[in-house]
Amino acid sequence: MLLVTCDFFSGFSGAALGTLYLYEVEFVWQLGDLKYALLLVYFVAGVLFVPVILKLAKVLGKAKAACCAAVFNVVLTPFILLLPPGVTWIYVIALIIMGVNVGSMAVLYRGMMGDVGDVDELETGERRTGLFFSMLTLSQKIGAAMAVGVMFWILDSVGFSSKGDNTETALTGLALLFVFVPVACNLIVAFFMWRFPIDKARQEEMRAEIDARRADVLSSEIHAVEARESEQRVPEV
């Protein structure tokens, strides 16, 4: 349940940023002509950060690595509010930093869901990872769908207009939403990831136990086949 909750908030955060991004770049950063190029920077950074986060996961474990990635965004994202508009290179750096969670969290969540599948297999004797992964897909989509509606509702409440000619209050509301929605979501993710019960040591123990069980089952099946073949070779009297 912790993992599904985190995936929901990560989906909410990503969709909120996606909803607000074009407006933020156009009206707050004043870099509308570069909005698609900057978006490419964001996604490329997200891809490039995946190997870094995976290496961190090997050292700390997947849950602690996810927690670190979330805290990283919580600490650094608010600095966007201090950046001057119209300075391209500053926002390139900002989007590179924000790209940490674009792909890495999804990869970590799915790796952790595999660990949850191991727990379930030890308890039930069944492998139901397909069911668990479908829960992740559902939670992310629900979070994303809710984010779009909530963001547009709040933008309308602060008087923001996508056609321009916005008041200072409307632009401030947009800027605050763009920063503090992902900050809040990542705080929640960090809190739950820190409490996630399957750490690196526990995961290794589970894999060893599962491998031992499967080896025993395979050995039993081999002996059963050999016994049947032996019986078939016994000549009839």
Q: CATH code at 119?
A: 1.20.1250.20
Res 236 pLDDT > 80: no
**pLDDT for the residue numbered 58:** 84
Same domain, 185 and 98: yes
Query: Region 170-194: what's the mean pLDDT?
Result: 91
DSSP assigned state of 34: G
Taking the C-alpha atoms of residue 9 and residue 181, their distance in angstroms, rounded to an integer, is 10
Same domain, 191 and 204: no
Task: Tally the C-alpha atoms within 13 A of residue 117's C-alpha that lie toward its C-beta.
Answer: 17
Q: How confident is the model at residue 229 (pLDDT cuts 50, 70, 90)?
A: low
**Residue that wins the pLDDT comparison between 69 and 122:** 69
Query: Region 110-122: what's the mean pLDDT?
Result: 78
Query: What tokens appear for 225 in the block?
Result: 């086949």
Same domain, 222 and 112: no
Closest CA to 14 of 140, 137, 127: 140
Same domain, 102 and 203: no
Same domain, 187 and 114: yes
Query: Could you give the number of structural domains in the chain?
Result: 2
Using the structure block, give the residue that is written with the tokens 């002509």. 33
Same domain, 86 and 67: yes
Q: How confident is the model at residue 187 (pLDDT cuts 50, 70, 90)?
A: very high
| CA distances (Å), origin 172, targets 28, 29, 35, 177 | 8, 12, 19, 8
Range of the domain at 94: 2-197
Of the listed ranges 20-29, 124-133, 195-204, 226-235, the least confidently predicted one is 226-235
Highest mean pLDDT, choosing among 94-103, 168-177, 203-212: 168-177
Same domain, 191 and 203: no
Same domain, 57 and 110: yes
CB 48 within 8 Å of CB 175:
no
Q: Supply the mean pLDDT for the chain.
A: 83
Res 112 pLDDT > 50: yes
Q: How confident is the model at residue 24 (pLDDT cuts 50, 70, 90)?
A: very high
Using the structure block, give the residue that is written with the tokens 């509010």. 81
Taking the C-alpha atoms of residue 61 and residue 199, their distance in angstroms, rounded to an integer, is 6
Res 99 pLDDT > 90: no
Q: Is 87 helix (H, G, I), strand (E, B) or coil?
A: coil
Same domain, 181 and 227: no
Res 237 pLDDT > 50: no
